[in-house]
Structures are given as C-alpha cells and as structure tokens.
Amino acid sequence: MVYLFIGQDLKSPDTPLSSKDTRLKQIREEFLPKSVEHFNLDILYAETLKLKELQEKLLALPVKSPKRIIVIKNAQELAPGIDDFILRWAKQASKDILLLLDMEKQGKKEAFLRNIYKYAKTFRFQEVLALNTFNLSRMIEQHSAGNALKVLGQLLKDGEKPERILGGLRYAVENSRLSAPETKCRIRFLLECDIEIKTGKLRPVFALEKLIVRLCALAQPFH
C-alpha cells in the first residue's frame, strides 16, 4: 500500500487544484469516509520528519474507516534511515495503511526508487529529467522494454558510450536489493553483452538492445 507521486506538478492558472492535489482528493474520496477523514489523514514533511514519528503514524489504526492515509511531502528529502525503514515496511505493509510519498525530484532517490517500485503504485506528473543510466535502470525495473529502448536510443544519440551505459547498469544491479540468484543472472547478461561488443559479434547498439530486452523479461523476482 505505497503510492508514489513523482514530478514537479506545476499548477495551471485556469484550474483551482494542481494535478497532484486533484489525484490526492480522488484517493481520499475513495478510501476515507468524509465524516472521519480528519482522524485518518496525516500530512507529514520529509525535511522535519523523524523515524519515530513515522513509526507511530504507521502503527495507528483507522478510526471508523477502511484505511488511514499518510502523505509525506517532499519525499526526495527523506533521511536515509527512513528510506530503509519504508522499504522494509513496504514488503509487509498493513492493508489498513496507505503511505503516499510525494516527491518533486527523484535524482536523490534513484536507488531507493529502484527498490520500492515493485511494491508501489506510481503516478507521474510534470517532470523535467536529464536522461542517464539511472533512467534506463528505472525503466528496466518497471519491465517497460519499449520505454527502456527509447531511453537507450536517446542516450546513444546524445553520445553516451556503450561501455559507460554498461557500467551504469552494472552499478545499478550491484547496488540494488535483488536476491543473489537474480543479481547473478543480471550480471551474467551484462558480461555476455560486454563480450559481444568487444569481440564484434554484435554491433554495440544491437548488443545493448538485446540486453535491455533480456533484463526487462525478468518480470518475476527470483526465490
């Protein structure tokens, strides 16, 4: 029960609510009875949030409502220890609690996002991103082969070298929370791609495209 809001969400002058506010309003109406909404909704701010405060909020039970909603604004500013706690909580999250992480920029939280995507429902809003291998890794973790190939194509068009792309993907795998068997499998795919490029067996672009498709196909975590 983790929702991610990602993007700057610039408000249009001709609308009363920003797109984020509109989406949050819809979520509140879906899960919280109006009469007890104020008992079951907490708005927190990452800059001042302490781990103990978040833990207390997550332990509180809904009041005459199917759920409680906890919103953390500016979640890109979460302290590293709170990141780790949220990831552990997400793996066995209570069905009574909906935790909504609202972040304007994800650059600081690439590693955290790579690990929590599988447990979260993501909503994207207006966002300006410079493409890099983190963006590519994110598309792979979402098993979005089409988008990953588009990012790869743009990286190559922008002059990014194949060896740097491979290095970035390897870094992402080695710093993720994947199981040992899945990590080993992904590293093997990366090594095979590296060999195909260095031996000339495949042109770099074809070898990388093949790698992306294979990585995206790993849709289920290994056990």
Secondary structure in 3-state letters for 166-198: HHHHHHHHHCCCCCHHHHHHHHHHHHHHHHHHH
Tell me the average pLDDT of the chain.
Answer: 88
Nearest to 1 by CA among 71, 50, 65, 78: 71
**pTM for this model (two decimals):** 0.57
Asked if residue 37 lies in contact with residue 71, where contact means CB atoms within 8 angstroms, the answer is no
Same-domain pairing of 111 and 69? yes
* SS3 assignment, position 71: strand
For residue range 14-36, list pLDDT tens digits in order: 556 778 888 999 999 999 999 99
Q: Is residue 117 part of a domain?
A: yes
Any idea which of 43-52, 68-77, 126-135 has the lowest mean pLDDT?
A: 126-135
Highest-confidence segment of 149-153, 158-162, 176-180: 149-153
Same-domain pairing of 62 and 168? no
| Mean pLDDT value across residues 110-126 | 87
For residue 194, the domain's CATH number is 1.20.272
Say what the pLDDT of residue 105 is.
Answer: 75
Which two three-digit tokens encode residue 205?
Answer: 């672009």
Residue recorded with tokens 């989406």 = 23
Highest-confidence segment of 6-10, 99-103, 132-136, 158-162: 99-103
Say what the pLDDT of residue 130 is.
Answer: 58
Asked if residue 139 lies in contact with residue 117, where contact means CB atoms within 8 angstroms, the answer is no
Same-domain pairing of 28 and 67? yes
Q: Is residue 222 part of a domain?
A: no
Say what the pLDDT of residue 220 is.
Answer: 47
Same-domain pairing of 48 and 153? no
For residue 62, the domain's CATH number is 3.40.50.300
| Mean pLDDT value across residues 114-140 | 82
Whole-angstrom Cα distance, residue 126 to residue 47? 22
pLDDT higher than threshold 70 for residue 135: yes
Task: Determine the structural domain holding residue 208 and report its residue range.
Answer: 133-216
Q: Is residue 144 part of a domain?
A: yes
For residue range 63-104, list pLDDT tens digits in order: 999 999 999 999 999 998 999 999 999 998 788 999 999 998
For residue range 183-197, list pLDDT tens digits in order: 999 999 999 999 999
Nearest to 1 by CA among 135, 103, 104, 97: 97
Q: Residue 117 gets which letter from DSSP?
A: G
